[in-house]
Amino acid sequence: MTTKLVDRFLKYVKFDTQSDELTNLTPSTPGQMVFAKELKKELHDMGLSDISLDDNGYLFATLPANTDKAVPTVGFIAHMDTAPDMSGHDVKPRIVKYDGSPIVLSDEPRIVLDPQQFPEMNDYVGQEFIVTSGDTLLGADDKAGIAEILTAIEWFQEHPEVKHGNIRVGFNPDEEIGLGAHHFDVEKFGCDWAYTMDGGAVGELEYENFNAASAKITFKGLNVHPGAAKHKMLNSMRVAVQFAMMLPRWETPEHTEGYEGFYHLISMEGSVEKTTLSYIIRDHDRDRFESRKREIEHLCNKINSEFPDCASCEIKDQYYNMREKIEPVMNIIDIAKQAMENAGVTPKVQPIRGGTDGAQLSFKNLPCPNIFAGGMNMHGRFEYVPIPSMEKATKTIVEICKLVAQ
């Protein structure tokens, strides 16, 4: 299993599949469709059925059941794109044995994957890592998930004596820009439930995520010559800074953890005449989430009470906490926990401090918790994946399907 799993992954990361939120296309970049077509060919070569690739880059296939029993259809989903945060072009993966010492990714310039900076590396001493060359991300998010799903499917093909129901696989574009589930045809996918293989460290099992919204606050100013500005000029940048300082200082990503929500200023652009602040709003609790949105509106009104008609805000919900959709079907969490234990993994149930395609799919009536894929330090040059973590993720998929068949 290991050789095929690693070979798949090393092949997949060579495809440049960065998504781009500015194109307004689906998939957002042509490289994702190139990769999807290659995966489609692999699915054909494996002999899977019901293979479909639509114009939006959504690839589905089925491993047919080998039992006459009535068994639920379970799906496994992973995304093909990599994050826009760093280049995914010309990825040069390398396998190294981690002995507890810093790993030199590049000599010139010198880039080092250092356990003093990333202490969680010490959980994997003695294991083989797949690392970057220091000038790109790796792509374990989420090509590790794709490799694990297809390697598990291949395991079942090589072990026909092990019974399983219909197993559906789904690979989608544009997860990293929040659009992975937008054109996902849940009815066509045809599953009772599914799992995204898109988590991080070994053992992660997640069915809670942030409620999420974006907020764009625009401030209008009035520019006149600074030499004659008294009682005339309104500097929109100064007003925007005033607004930003009115939000709770400690409710930002760098001061929060666990279930704590935040306001996150992600961009600012301005001049005297006009300034725009863009925020993301996050909270696991739905009531606190709604309160945070109201606070943005309240502060805009406060600004306008001092500077009439200066501030306007646009708030858009992005996704919601999937917990409310998973709790009625907690047996799918129990199955995943048992599968991990069968695979020699200790389940670590924790909330996602972010979003996942599974959240949106759960609200489209496809309950879809998230399982670890093994990657660490995603979205940057220090990304790595321990090979045993990928092996355990693959075994977890196998064990889930075996339990569902039982």
Instruction: Give the domain-ending residue among 302, 319, 336.
Output: 319
73, 133: one domain: yes
3-state SS of the chain is: CHHHHHHHHHHHCCCCCECCCCCCCCCCCHHHHHHHHHHHHHHHHHCCEEEEECCCCCEEEEECCCCCCCCCCEEEEEECCECCCCCCCCCCCEEEECCCCCEEEEECCEEEECCCCCHHHHHHCCCEEEECCCCCCCCHHHHHHHHHHHHHHHHHHHCCCCCCCCEEEEEECCHHHCCCCCCCCHHHHCCCEEEEEEECCCCEEECCECEEEEEEEEEECECCCHHHCCCCCECHHHHHHHHHHHCCCCCCHHHCCCCCCEEEEEEEEECCCEEEEEEEEEECCHHHHHHHHHHHHHHHHHHHHHCCCCEEEEEEEEECCCHHHHHHHCHHHHHHHHHHHHCCCCCEECCECCCCHHHHHHCCCCCCCEEECCCECCCCCCCEEEHHHHHHHHHHHHHHHHHHHC
CATH assignment of the domain containing 69: 3.40.630.10
The token pair at 232 is 């005339």
The token pair at 294 is 């109201």
372, 230: one domain: no
Q: Is 158 a catalytic residue?
A: no
42, 167: one domain: yes
What does the alpha-carbon distance between residue 369 and residue 331 come to, in Å, rounded to a whole number?
A: 11
290, 334: one domain: no
Instruction: Give the domain-ending residue among 264, 298, 319.
Output: 319
CATH assignment of the domain containing 221: 3.30.70.360
Q: Which of 168, 209, 4 is nearest to 76 (CA)?
A: 168
Q: Which residues of the chain have pLDDT under 50?
A: none
pTM summary value: 0.89
What does the alpha-carbon distance between residue 154 and residue 150 come to, in Å, rounded to a whole number?
A: 6
Instruction: Give the domain-ending residue among 254, 289, 319.
Output: 319
Q: Find the domain containing 285 and state its range.
A: 211-319
- Which of the following is catalytic: 16, 81, 204, 383? 81
Q: What is the pLDDT of residues 308-356, one digit of tens each?
A: 999 999 999 988 999 999 999 999 999 999 999 999 999 999 998 887 8
Q: What is the pLDDT of residues 200-212, one digit of tens each?
A: 999 999 999 999 9
192, 236: one domain: no
Q: Is 148 a catalytic residue?
A: no
Query: Token match 């003093």: residue?
Result: 116
The token pair at 97 is 């044995």
The total domain count for the chain is 2
What is the pLDDT, as a whole number, of residue 354? 82
273, 158: one domain: no
Checking 326-329 for CB contacts under 8 A at 24+ apart, the result is 326/207, 326/362, 326/367, 326/369, 329/193, 329/367
176, 139: one domain: yes
- Which of the following is catalytic: 16, 175, 198, 357? 175
82, 218: one domain: no
192, 79: one domain: yes
